[in-house]
């Protein structure tokens, strides 16, 4: 069995219960050379949660017993083809009454994988889904700034009207039209 990798580095990137679960899964996935497969399966599960109010209710509601959650979860995972370590992990979280924290666990796992691979992640918010060309340009610009590979999570929010908002670590750049219009609106109030 290989020695445990120090995933904390200079500063902890995961903490609390979700972080402990994510670190345990990361170390197991690393040992079994299954990091990418687990990351992909957890990403699919996170997308399922985001797209299904019924699944959100199952994950978050304390009304369901551990057995009911695990049985329903097993059926869902089988149906969508999520197996292996990711499925085992989610079932353990469910049987331990921790499924409500799955989104946080998945986020912490992604952070550990990114650190392990020397990547960083960014969230961009846009008014409409960007083309692959625009995504590649954004990724290249972020890579030039960070000197690391950047994994981008795209969120679509039509209320920003246009432009984009980029969150990279603790930094945020807001070039949205909504923000620019609000700035103009405030300036106009000061003048009158």
Q: Give the mean pLDDT of the chain.
A: 88
Asked if 75 contacts 88 with a C-beta cutoff of 8 angstroms, the reply is: no
Strand partners, 120: 150
Q: Is the pLDDT of residue 3 over 70?
A: no
In the 3-class helix/strand/coil scheme, how is 31-47 assigned residue by residue?
Answer: HCCCHHHHHHHHHHHHH
pLDDT in tens, 118-156: 888 889 999 999 999 999 999 999 999 888 888 888 889
Strand partners, 168: 122, 171
Gap between the Cα atoms of 108 and 90, Å rounded: 14
Residue limits of CATH 1.10.520.20 in the chain:
16-114
pLDDT in tens, 148-178: 888 888 889 999 999 999 998 888 999 999 9
Give the pLDDT confidence score for residue 161 in this predicted structure: 92
Give the pLDDT confidence score for residue 140 in this predicted structure: 92
Reported CATH class of domain 16-114: mainly alpha
Q: Is 133 helix (H, G, I), strand (E, B) or coil?
A: helix
């Amino acid at each position: 069995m290989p020695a445990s990798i120090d995933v904390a580095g200079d500063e902890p990137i995961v903490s609390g219960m979700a972080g402990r679960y994510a670190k345990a899964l990361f170390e197991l996935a690393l040992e079994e050379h299954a990091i990418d497969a687990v990351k992909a399966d957890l990403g699919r599960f996170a997308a399922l949660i985001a797209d299904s109010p019924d699944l959100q209710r199952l994950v978050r509601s304390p009304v369901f017993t551990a057995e009911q959650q695990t049985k329903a979860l097993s059926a869902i995972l089988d149906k969508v083809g999520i197996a292996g370590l990711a499925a085992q992990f989610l079932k353990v979280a469910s049987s331990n009454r921790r499924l409500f924290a799955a989104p946080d666990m998945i986020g912490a796992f992604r952070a550990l994988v990114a650190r392990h691979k020397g990547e960083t992640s960014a969230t961009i918010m846009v008014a409409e889904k960007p083309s692959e060309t625009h995504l590649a340009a954004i990724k290249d610009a972020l890579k030039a700034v960070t000197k690391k590979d950047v994994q981008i999570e795209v969120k679509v929010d039509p209320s920003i009207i246009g432009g984009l908002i980029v969150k990279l670590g603790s930094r945020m750049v807001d070039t949205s039209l909504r923000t620019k219009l609000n700035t103009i609106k405030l300036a106009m109030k000061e003048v009158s």
